[in-house]
Structure 1
Amino acid sequence: MKNNFKLLSLGLLLGFSILTSAQDITGLWQSIDDKTSEVKTIIEISPNDQGIYTGTIKTITPRVGYQPKELCYKCPPPYTNQPILGLKTFTGLKLAKNNEYADGKVIDPLTGKIYNLKDKLNTNGNRLNLSGYVGVSTIGRSQTWLRVK
């Protein structure tokens, strides 16, 4: 009876530790327009062999009344005049602690501005809350991305 209790306890503990461990952000994500709540792009997030994540624009979603730009005109080098489709929109993102990522840089291809980036994945792994900022992380812009299933 004691052995069964130990096995059950061990199983529950292992299950709980798996549930509370960091989830991976690898995969396809929909970026959502802050003003219209429409899908703007599909971003593919992938890590390199050091666990540093990059987000690449895979699809630009057509929307009524919006003509997407094709090139990153106002962007600094090495992004200058690069196609927005296929652009590495963010780089350098690393797991900081459970479900939180930091130390990234993100470029806004419409303005050419580069911001510091941190992300937090919600507990079910379907929403990624991104914060782009200059200087202090409490002052900046936030977006929520939705995982593509």
Structure 2
Amino acid sequence: MARALVLALAGMWGGAWAQATPVGLWRSVDDKTGEARAEIRITESAGALSGRIEKRLSKDARPGDVCTECKDERKGQPLAGLEIIRGARQAEGREVWEGGKILDPENGREYTLRLTPVEGGKRLEVRGSIGPFGRTQTWVRVQ
């Protein structure tokens, strides 16, 4: 009985801890209009995060849309499946991932990235910045 309780509690704790990470599926929300823009899948490989647009949700999204403003190898690539997050790593001893880049496919610019899970991992603060200037969006975890 005690062993089953310990295992059940460990499972709940492990699940809660696993949610306090950016890894997973997120719904991006436009910080100006409140409109859902896309679903982004963030994955981890060798300690670094990457994120791809899994599904576009905006009203004006068309299946064949490509990144016309991108300036690197992503130029002309379909927006669905486009890698927009690269190289973020967890800051030592903190639940913050930084040091990577995030691409805004609407203008082709890359920004320095910081990802901070909040509300036990239910939301993700996504900050893109250039120098001291930047903006933060709050993404919502998709269950």
Query: Rg bigger for which structure?
Result: 1
2:102 maps to 1:106: yes
Matches within 5 A, 1:15-30: 23-30=20-27
Match of 1:92 in 2: 87
Q: Is the 8 A contact 1:43 1:59 kept in 2?
A: yes
SS of alignment partner, residue 130 of structure 1: strand
Identity of aligned residues (%): 32
2:48 corresponds, among 39, 48, 52, to: 52
Cα drift, residue 67 of structure 1: 4.4
Whether contact under 8 Å (1:23, 1:99) holds in the other structure is yes
SS state at 2:121 partner: coil
Quote the offset at 1:21 in angstroms.
Answer: 9.2
1:32 to 29, 47, 68: 29
Q: Does 1:122 align with 2:122?
A: no
In structure 1, C-alpha distance between the alignment counterparts of 2:41 and 2:52, rounded to whole Å? 5
Tell me: CA distance 1:58–1:67, structure 2 relative to 1, closer, same or farther (3 Å). closer
RMSD: 2.3
Structure 2: state its 5+ residue gaps. 1-9
Q: Which amino acid aligns with 1:39?
A: A
Q: Give the deviation of 1:53 after TM superposition.
A: 0.5
Moved beyond 6 Å, runs of 4+? 17-22
Query: Distance in 1 between the 2:36 and 2:61 partners?
Result: 14
Unaligned runs of 5+ in 1: 1-13
Does structure 1 residue 142 correspond to structure 2 residue 136? yes
Q: Deviations over 1:55-83 (max 9, x none)?
A: 110000142xx345711111111111111
TM-score for the superposition, normalised by structure 2: 0.81
CA distance in 2, matches of 1:42, 1:20: 22
Residues 74-113 of structure 1, C-alpha deviations (whole Å, 9 max, x = no match): 1111111111110001100111142211001011101001
Question: How many residues are treated as equivalent by the alignment?
Answer: 129
